[in-house]
Amino acid sequence: MNALDEIVRSIVTYMPIYTLSGLGIVIGGRAGIFNISGEGAMMAAASAGYLSAVFMGNWYVGFLISMAMGALFGLLLEFLHEEMKVNQFIAGIALVIFGTGLSDFIYKLVVGIKFYIPDAPPTPEIKIMPDIPILSAFFNQNIVVYFTYISVIAAYYIMYKTRIGIEHRAVGEDPRAADVVGINVKMVRYLATIIGSAFIGAAGGYLPLVITGTYTPGIASGRGFIAVGIAIFASWRPERTFLGAILFATIEAIALQMQVSEIGVPYQFLLMLPFVSLLLVMALFKGKIEHPSSLGKPYSRE
Q: Evaluate whether residue 264 is within a structural domain.
A: yes
State how many domains the chain has. Answer: 1
42-to-165, 184, 199, 202, 291 alpha-carbon distances in Å = 26, 29, 10, 8, 24
Helix axes 38-56, 2-29, angle to 10 degrees: 110
Rounded CA-CA distance 99/42 in Å is 8
- Cβ count near 280 (within 10 Å): 10
Q: Is 209 a member of any domain?
A: yes
Q: Full-prediction pTM beyond 0.85?
A: yes
Report residue 202's pLDDT band, with 50, 70 and 90 as the boundaries: very high
The boundaries of the domain holding residue 24 are 2-112+132-288
pLDDT of residue 13: 95
- Whether 143 is in a domain gets the answer yes
pLDDT tier for residue 146 given thresholds of 50, 70 and 90: very high
Instruction: Provide the pLDDT for residue 253.
Output: 87
Per-residue pLDDT band for 134 (boundaries 50, 70, 90) equals confident
Q: Which of 173, 190, 152 is nearest to 71 (CA)?
A: 190
pLDDT at 193 (0 to 100): 98
Question: Mind listing the pLDDT tens digit for each residue in 203-222?
Answer: 999 999 999 999 999 999 99
Q: Is 295 among the domain residues?
A: no
Burial class (CB in 10 A: 0-12, 13-18, 19+), 43: buried
- Closest residue by Cα to residue 23 from 82, 67, 53, 61: 67
Q: Summarize pLDDT for 44-89 with one digit per residue, the tens.
A: 999 999 999 999 999 999 999 999 999 999 999 999 999 999 999 9
Percent of the chain with pLDDT over 90: 75
- pLDDT, tens only, 233-277: 899 999 999 999 999 999 888 888 777 776 666 766 767 777 787
* Mean pLDDT (the chain, rounded): 91
Q: Is residue 140 part of a domain?
A: yes
Q: What pLDDT was estimated at residue 115? A: 65
* Spatial contact of 248 and 221, defined as CB atoms under 8 Å apart: no
- The confidence score (pLDDT) of residue 166 equals 96
Q: What CATH number is associated with residue 76?
A: 1.10.3470.10
Single out the residue of 52, 44, 93, 106 nearest to residue 72, CA to CA.
44
Question: How deeply is 248 buried, as exposed, middle or buried, from its count of CB atoms within 10 A (0-12, 13-18, 19+)?
Answer: buried
User: Is residue 169 situated within a structural domain?
Assistant: yes
122 found inside a domain: no
Q: Do residues 291 and 232 make contact, with C-beta atoms less than 8 angstroms apart?
A: yes
pLDDT of 164 > 80? The answer is yes
Q: Which of 4-18, 61-75, 101-115, 161-175 is predicted least confidently?
A: 101-115
The whole-number pLDDT of residue 275 equals: 79
For the residues 154-176, what does the mean pLDDT come to?
96
297 lies in some domain: no
- Calpha distance 137→15 (Å, rounded): 12
